[in-house]
């Protein structure tokens, strides 16, 4: 009987130890599973950090440490070889015109206030201004038809074959670019303008211009810069930054910058980095999509 009781007690003890061991094993298993789940959950983060560090090391010395240098893209506006006279030659990356005839720029003036400059690289017969694509670019003189409005090397502003203004070296009338550019403002000894219209333009003269450039004659000469400003109300011309006070009205249609050359004239169109800068509120020509 005692032996049976002792055996029964030993069995119960073994059963209790087995149950206790099972609980410990169960707890350990649960902890192991939790640990495994935790590791699996943070593994993508760890791998992401490792990848970032690897990428950072790979790009070390390639990317700038603080500032980013942005390369300036070329100005898309230039002289248009698809809209020029048969004997016109365009060089210098679409910025220089020579030969005989006219050429338009490849962008219309669609913004509210546009400005560009033209450098008179070499004298001859030239015209500078605005024109539609319907103008006759095989002419050597701008402003001879109803589709162009131009200042010419013979000191006349022409449209439709009519003289709108004549520059007169005997009279002083000019306005510094960006200054008092109201019509009629007079500064003695500067660029002169006769505002009296003339019925028809005289023939171009082959006589050389007075020596000394615009500094002495008060008229455009080789080496000078002509500025052109257009706000869809007036077309104005500037000589070396000074307003010529010859506002041209009633410019109609979709217009483009235009250059006409003949008799050895060489013109460079300047579309940014201006020598004298635009009047207040005006800016360089923008292509149409950049206005959206």
Q: Distance between CA 253 and CA 255 in Å, rounded?
A: 6
Q: Distance between CA 275 and CA 240 in Å, rounded?
A: 8
Q: Distance between CA 157 and CA 150 in Å, rounded?
A: 6
Q: Distance between CA 142 and CA 131 in Å, rounded?
A: 8
Q: What CA–CA distances, in Å, run from 19 to 12, 15, 26, 51, 240?
A: 10, 6, 10, 48, 104
Each of the 292 residues of the chain gets a pLDDT tens digit; together they read 445 555 555 555 555 555 555 554 555 566 567 666 666 666 666 565 555 554 454 444 444 555 555 555 678 999 999 999 999 999 999 999 999 999 999 999 999 999 999 999 999 999 999 999 999 999 999 999 999 999 999 999 999 999 999 998 765 443 333 333 333 333 333 233 343 333 334 433 333 333 334 555 679 999 999 999 999 999 999 999 999 999 999 999 999 999 999 999 999 999 999 999 899 999 999 987 644 4
Question: Rounded to 5 degrees, what are φ and ψ at 274?
Answer: -65, 150
**Helix, strand or coil, per DSSP, at residue 265:** coil
Q: Phi-psi category of 61—alpha, beta or left, where left has phi over 0 and alpha has psi -120 to 50?
A: left
DSSP bridge partners of 150: 129, 158
**Domain boundary assignment for the chain:** 1-62, 79-204+214-291
Q: Distance between CA 90 and CA 263 in Å, rounded?
A: 16
Write down the architecture of domain 79-204+214-291 according to CATH: Sandwich (2.60)
Residue with token string 């206790």? 20
User: Each residue of 142-161: pLDDT tens digit?
Assistant: 999 999 999 999 999 999 99
Question: Are the C-beta atoms of 127 and 161 separated by less than 8 Å?
Answer: no
Q: Distance between CA 47 and CA 52 in Å, rounded?
A: 9
Question: Are the C-beta atoms of 133 and 83 separated by less than 8 Å?
Answer: yes
Question: Are the C-beta atoms of 109 and 86 separated by less than 8 Å?
Answer: no
User: Each residue of 51-85: pLDDT tens digit?
Assistant: 555 445 444 444 455 555 555 567 899 999 999 99
User: Each residue of 265-286: pLDDT tens digit?
Assistant: 999 999 999 999 899 999 999 9
> How many C-beta atoms lie closer than 10 Å to residue 87's C-beta?
14
């Amino acid at each position: 009987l005692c032996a049976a009781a002792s055996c029964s007690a030993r069995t119960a003890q073994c059963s209790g130890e087995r149950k206790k061991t099972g609980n410990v094993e169960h707890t350990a298993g649960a902890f192991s599973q939790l640990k495994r789940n935790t590791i699996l959950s943070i593994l993508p983060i760890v791998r992401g950090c490792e990848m970032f560090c690897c990428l950072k090391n790979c790009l070390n010395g390639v990317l700038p440490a603080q500032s980013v240098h942005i390369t300036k893209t070329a100005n898309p506006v230039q002289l248009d070889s698809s809209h020029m006279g048969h004997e016109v030659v365009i060089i210098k990356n679409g910025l220089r015109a020579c030969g005989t005839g006219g050429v338009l720029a490849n962008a219309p003036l669609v913004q509210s206030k546009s400005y560009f400059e033209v450098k008179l690289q070499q004298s001859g017969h030239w015209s500078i201004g605005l024109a539609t694509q319907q103008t006759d670019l095989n002419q050597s003189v701008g402003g001879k038809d109803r589709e162009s409005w131009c200042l010419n090397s013979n000191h006349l502003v022409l449209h439709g074959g009519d003289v709108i203004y004549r520059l007169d070296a005997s009279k002083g009338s000019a306005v510094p670019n960006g200054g008092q550019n109201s019509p009629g403002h007079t500064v003695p000894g500067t660029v002169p303008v006769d505002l009296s219209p003339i019925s028809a333009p005289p023939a171009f003269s082959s006589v050389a211009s007075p020596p000394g450039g615009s500094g002495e004659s008060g008229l455009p000469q080789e080496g000078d810069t002509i500025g052109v400003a257009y706000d869809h109300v007036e077309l104005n011309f500037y000589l070396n930054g000074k307003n010529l006070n010859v506002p041209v009205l009633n410019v109609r249609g979709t217009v483009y910058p235009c250059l006409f050359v003949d008799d050895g004239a060489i013109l460079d169109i300047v579309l940014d980095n201006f020598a004298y800068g635009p009047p207040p509120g005006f800016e360089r020509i923008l292509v149409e999509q950049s206005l959206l």
